[in-house]
Amino acid sequence: MSNSANVNQTLLLSRSEIEELLSVGEAVEAVEDAFRLTAEGKTAMPPKLYLDLPDYHGDFRAMPAYISGSAGIKWVSVYPNNQKRNLPTVLATILLCDPNTGCPLAVMDGTYITKIRTGAAGAVAAKYLAKKDSSVIGMVGAGAQARTQLMATAKVLPKIEEVKVYDKFREAGLKYAEEMGAELGINVHYVATIQEVTEADILVTTTPSTAPIVSSQLVRPGTHINAIGADAEGKQELESTLLKKAKVIVDDITQASHSGEVNVPLKQGAIKVEDIYGTLGEVVANIKQGRENDQEITIFDSTGLAVQDIICAKLVYEKAIKKGKARTFKLNL
């Protein structure tokens, strides 16, 4: 990795600085590259490691990767009770290193990168798997990730005219509709039932549910689903029978099998690993075909990949160097 800064200096980047340096559009392009490079065998990414702390009602995840001349690791925690403390549920820190020397190039906030790259992954999936004339999106869940999912998808599908949002907390859904409608300039409105929200071309689920929310009978032929919420063992948003009749595409088969939307159906025997069509990277790299007709149901199971974090962190680092935006310190001296 090219480094124009002093090798003895490590950059320190806060969330606010990263927000200025990394746009949604840039994240979508970077994540699309990450999917393609991974499918082409040009990355290295060991499995995500979990550190469960049930006594503290949370967990940590270590996510190392190498991509595009950059090596790094994200240390991310998930603490659902943080909302009561006025803190994000997901908190992350990224350490970016020079693979030539091992020198730490940057320590940066990973919370914003996690949020924006997850939204970008959903956008890439919609770009390759949704019907080209898709105009209606249904959002299940109105939290922080629902916002970046919609922001990113709107970048790749300019024909979106209507967004329906359902959340079990009505006030959250109404607030989301008002704020996202104003930000994107499109018709975003709250609906009161799951049935109403599934009447869409693209369905995005972003909840922490451990029981199916979306039943098979509600999903219309031709729907594309971005299943985002299931990111740990036991989580599930879609009815298992829905996966059986759909084309299921994952970000990483090993990771999805133990912590993605497919993890529960696999354990139940409702589907087999052989039923998983392939990875999104294979579709992006044109190794496998994506959507084949306007009637098939496609599902993207997103668990979040370390290569996505590191490629975005590299972009942030390079822009920070170019613009002189970061503080430096001597970490190893």
Q: Which residues are catalytic?
A: 74
**What is the 3-state secondary structure of the chain?**
CCCCCCCCCEEEECHHHHHHHCCHHHHHHHHHHHHHHHHCCCCECCCCEEEEEHHHCEEEEEEEEEECCEEEEEEEEECHHHHHHCCCCEEEEEEEECCCCCCEEEEEECHHHHHHHHHHHHHHHHHHHCCCCCCEEEEECCCHHHHHHHHHHHHHCCCCCEEEEECCCHHHHHHHHHHHHHHHCCEEEECCCHHHHCCCCEEEECCCCCCCCECHHHCCCCCEEEECCCCCCCCCCECHHHHHCCEEEECCHHHHHHHCCCHHHHHHCCCCHHHEEEEHHHHHCCCCCCCCCCCCCEEEECCCCHHHHHHHHHHHHHHHHHHCCCEEECCCC
